[in-house]
Amino acid sequence: MSRGYGLAALLEATARRVPGNVAVSVPGGKQLTYAELDTLTSRLRDRLVALGVRPGDRVGLRLHKSIDSVIALFGALKAGAAYVPVDAESPAARGAFILNDCQVRALVTERGLEAALTEELRQLGAAPAVIALDEHEHDVALAGELETRQQADPAPEVPTAEVGPDDLAYILYTSGSTGKPKGVVLTHGNALSFIDWCSEIYQPHEADAFSSHAPFHFDLSILDIYVPVKHGARLVLIGEALGKDPNRLAATIASEGITAWYSTPSILSLLALYGKLDRYDYSRLRIVNFAGEVFPVPQFKTVRAIWTAPRFYNLYGPTETNVCTYYEVPQDDSWKTMDTFPIGLICEPNRGRVVDEEGKDVPLGEPGELVVWGPNVMRGYWNLPEQNSKAFLVDAEGLPWYHTGDIVTQDAQGQYTYRGRRDRMVKRRGYRVELGEIEAGLARHPDIREVAVISVPDAESGVKIAAFISCQAGASLTIVALKKASVQALPPYMIPDVFSVVEALPRTSTNKVDLQALKTRLGGA
C-alpha cells in the first residue's frame, strides 16, 4: 500500500497539477474543472463515510449518465469502496439482484428510480443507505444535495482512503448463463495496468477530449473515464438519449471537438448510416476505438470513407480482462481486402495462449481457446467459487490463465483472429448476452411453459436472437404480449428479435431441447 496510489489518486494528482482544466462536460450543459470535481468528490467521500461506508465496502450506483454519476464513482473510490454501477435502463429487479448480491453499503440513485429499486431491495432483505438525486443530465444535482445534508447533519472531512493494487475498485456485472448476472471483481491494479497501456499507445495530452459513450456498467467506460483524468484531458459525457440518436451524435462529436472516440461498432455503423457525417468537420478527431463485437469490414468502410484522418483501433477483451488484445487498422488501403479484422496482438505485459480442451497449446495457426494471464485479469467473480475455479486454467507454475471462451487463431506475427464462441454467449450491440439468461427471464412469465432461445448470424445486425415459446395449458400469448413481457423482464439489449409460439419445443433423443432443429426451423421460416 502506498500513498497516492489508485484511481482516486489519479484525480487528486491531476487536480493539483492542472486545477483549471475542464475535467468533465455535458454537451449543451454544465462542465466542471478538475479542482471542482476534486472538491465535490471529496464532499461525497465524507458523506459516504458518515453513512458508514468503509474501505472494502461496495457502493451501488443506479444513475443515468451525468456529471453526478462521475462524482458518485469517484466519491466511492475516495472512500476506499468499490463502486457497482447498474443499468438505469434495465428492470429494477435486475439492479436490485446485483446490489444485493454484492451487499452494497450505500446506494446513489435518482429520485425517479428510487422507489422501485428500494422496494425490490426490501423484498430481498437489503436496505443500504440511499442518496437520491433529482435527475438532471445537464446540471449537478449532487452539489445541492450534499450541501443540504451538510446543513442538517454535518459530515466531518475525512482523508481519501489509501488503497493498494489488490484492493477492489469496481464490480461490473455481466450476463450469467444460469440466468443470474455475475459480478466481475476488478482491482485498482487491474485498472491502472490497462490505463498505463492506454497512455503508452494513445499518448494522451491535456488538449484531448475523450468521449464517454458507453454506460458505466460497461467496461468500455474504464478507458473513457480514467485515461483523460490521468492526463488532465476532458471527458465528454454522452447521455443515453443522445447516444442512440445518430443525427445529434454526429453533430456533437464535431461541436465538442472530440479527439478520442470509443464505442461499439454498432454505434459507428449507425453514425455512418444515419448521421449524415459529411455535414461536419471532424479534423480534431485523432483516435477511434471500437470494441465489444465484430465490426464487419463493409460497414467499417462506410465510416472510414468519411473519417479518413483518425487512427482506428479494434480493441478486444471480455470484462474479465478489459482490453487484452488490440489491432490498429492499417492507414493504407490494405485492410480493404480483409474479410474480418484480426483482434491483434496481446496488450503487454499480459500474455496470451491458444489452448485445446485439455489446456494444451495448439500448434501455431490452429484454432483453440484464447486464455489470458497478466495484470489486467480479474481477481474472480463475486461470491461464485464454483465459477471461479472453472474460469481459470492454472498452469504448472501456478499462474491463473483466464478462459475467454473465445475461439481464436494466431499467426506467425503473433496476431490473433477471432473465430467464434465455445458456448451459448453472443454479443449484441457490444453487450454480452447469455442465451440462458434470456430463457430464465422469460420463463418467469406465468403463461410461459417452456422457452428456448437461439441465435443465428444476421447480415445487418451481426446476430439475430429468436425465442421459441410454448404456453401453459389454456393460456395464449401474442407476439406483442411477448415483446412487452421481455421489456419487463430483461435489459433492452437482451430482447429477442423474433418470437415463435409453438405447441411444444422439439426434443432430442436424450430429451434435451433440440436447438439445432430450432435453428433449422428459423432458417426455413
Partner 1 sequence: MDNMRDAVRHFILENFLPGEDAKNLADDTELKESGILDSLSTLKLVTFLEERFGVEFEANDLEAGNLSSIANIERLVESKRAGRS
What is the binding site for partner 1 (CB under 8 A)? 244-248, 270, 274, 478-480, 483-484, 486-487, 492, 495, 497-500, 525
Nearer to partner 1, 174 or 486 (CB): 486
Provide the minimum distance between the beta carbon of 487 and partner 1 in the complex, in angstroms, as a whole number: 4
Nearer to partner 1, 245 or 514 (CB): 245
292 within 8 A of 430, measured Cβ to Cβ: yes
Nearer to partner 1, 412 or 525 (CB): 525
Helices 141-152 and 34-50, axial angle in degrees (round to 10): 40
Provide the minimum distance between the beta carbon of 495 and partner 1 in the complex, in angstroms, as a whole number: 6
- 3-class state of residue 465 by DSSP: strand
Query: How far apart (Å, rounded) are the C-alpha atoms in residues 315 and 324?
Result: 8
Provide the minimum distance between the beta carbon of 460 and partner 1 in the complex, in angstroms, as a whole number: 10
Query: How far apart (Å, rounded) are the C-alpha atoms in residues 88 and 105?
Result: 19
- How many CB atoms are located within 10 Å of the residue 448 CB? 20
Provide the minimum distance between the beta carbon of 49 and partner 1 in the complex, in angstroms, as a whole number: 39
Nearer to partner 1, 75 or 246 (CB): 246
Provide the minimum distance between the beta carbon of 479 and partner 1 in the complex, in angstroms, as a whole number: 4
Provide the minimum distance between the beta carbon of 498 and partner 1 in the complex, in angstroms, as a whole number: 5
Nearer to partner 1, 385 or 457 (CB): 457
Residues ≥6 apart with Cβ < 8 Å to 321: 350, 372, 374, 376, 377, 378, 402, 404
How many Cα neighbours within 13 Å face the side chain of 375?
Answer: 14
417 within 8 A of 342, measured Cβ to Cβ: yes
Question: What share of residues in the chain are helix, strand, coil (percent, to 5)?
Answer: 35, 25, 40
Cα 360 to chain centroid, rounded: 31
Provide the minimum distance between the beta carbon of 171 and partner 1 in the complex, in angstroms, as a whole number: 27
Query: How far apart (Å, rounded) are the C-alpha atoms in residues 224 and 234?
Result: 10
Provide the minimum distance between the beta carbon of 250 and partner 1 in the complex, in angstroms, as a whole number: 12
Nearer to partner 1, 495 or 513 (CB): 495
Cis peptide before 246, with omega less than 30 degrees from 0?
no
Q: Which of 247, 246, 338 is nearest to 298 (CA)?
A: 338
Nearer to partner 1, 123 or 274 (CB): 274
Provide the minimum distance between the beta carbon of 468 and partner 1 in the complex, in angstroms, as a whole number: 11
Which secondary structure element, helix H or strand E, spans residue 49, and what is its range? Answer: helix 34-50
Q: H helices within 264-350, ranges in order?
A: 265-274, 297-306
Amino acid at 293: E
Query: How far apart (Å, rounded) are the C-alpha atoms in residues 397 and 403?
Result: 17
Q: What Cα–Cα distance (Å) separates residue 129 from each residue in 48, 49, 104, 114, 160? A: 9, 11, 9, 12, 20
Strand 106-110 relative to strand 82-85, pairing: unpaired
Nearer to partner 1, 139 or 497 (CB): 497
165 within 8 A of 5, measured Cβ to Cβ: yes
Provide the minimum distance between the beta carbon of 94 and partner 1 in the complex, in angstroms, as a whole number: 15
Nearer to partner 1, 504 or 525 (CB): 525
The DSSP bridge partners found for residue 394 are: 400
Nearer to partner 1, 270 or 323 (CB): 270
